[in-house]
Structure 1
């Protein structure tokens, strides 16, 4: 529901004019397209290479694409809707982290070893994409919980790609899956930490809104 109140929209726009900046919407569209494309690339590469870190990163790209789409859907809406969207994204990041831990445990049980060359090449391409998106969104990192969650996603993704490349070297040097599993654990920790941070900020923003703004009083 678009913001139609005379006080909520005007006050939010005046205190945070970035929300109405067309550059924010354009940046989200670019991030959405790039993340959707990389999801397909890493999904195929992860399956071919048998790499849990690449598969986990592919899921991350898919989640980010959905998050950017959600941010676009609430663009220009009231604070309550943006904070609710941020809460959903925070929960998604947290769930993703738990998924990665479960996938790593399954791979450990199976005892398979990934193919390091594919891991390294695809990890480098993913790093270029995520670094570009992070730079694109850097100016919006200090906004509300919705904006902060988008920035945190891009930052964590770039760090994860560096870890994937390091894991590829580790797998190549040791012939073991442990470097791949170690990276998966790091990615899970980043996702869980970022998810908790966004959930707390979104909850704080919702708690600070009057009951009428939250839809409890009509």
Structure 2
């Protein structure tokens, strides 16, 4: 586990601020591009960027507080990610009954930009990946986002080749699974830390 000195350091704060700004910008880009292109996977990824922005803001707010407060913040973040998973799954089910194929070129271009942002964020946060639940949640979000972006790019290629929406729906379901997985990991670690605080 990372020490309080490490997780409360100037380097950690600066890194989280950089990643927060990058994620907030990508949320705006992807939500607009997702709506214009009709891509559920881009809209889902935009929600992920919004969730990550909130996660990073909460992480900054509780730096220097007691382990119990940081664990409770992590529990909140885990619950929010679980809520996003439910929303994305419900949207995927709804989209199945709606006609229209997302625009693959926009999916690919924005997906590539999102991947670059998330890989940058993951690399910046790499040295903090073994911290407490609050700190670790930041790393897990960035790592999973990069994986999700690779899936969005694959979906864009399949949509372009097949002219169908099924790959887009599949990626939305995959991203919901990533939300649930991350949510579960964060909540479990936060419960343990709260009990021992």
TM-score normalised by the shorter chain: which range applies? Answer: over 0.9
1:109-149 Cα distance to aligned partner (Å, 9 max, x none): 11221000000000000000000000000000001001111
Partner of 1:39: 27
Structure 1 residue ranges without an equivalent (≥5)? 1-11, 210-218
Matched, 1:27 2:15: yes
Count of matched residue positions in the alignment of Structure 1 and Structure 2 = 197
**TM-score in terms of structure 2 length:** 0.97
CA displacement, residues 87-130 of structure 1 (integer Å, 9 cap, x when unaligned) = 01111111111111111111111122100000000000000000
TM-score under structure 1 length normalisation: 0.88
2:83 paired with 1:81: no
| Residue 137 of structure 2, aligned match among 149, 154, 158 | 149
- Decide which structure has greater helix share: 2
Q: Are residue 194 (structure 1) and residue 182 (structure 2) matched?
A: yes
**4+ residue stretches of structure 1 with deviation over 6 A?**
none
Q: Distance in 2 between matches of 1:149 and 1:164?
A: 22
2: distance between equivalents of 1:93 and 1:35? 15
Displacement of 1:16 after TM fit?
A: 3.9
The offset of 1:168, in angstroms, is 0.3
Secondary structure in structure 2 of the residue aligned to 1:150 = helix
Q: CA RMSD in A?
A: 1.3
Task: Look at both structures and tell me which one has the larger radius of gyration over its CA atoms.
Answer: 1
Cα distance in structure 2, aligned partners of 1:84 and 1:112: 42
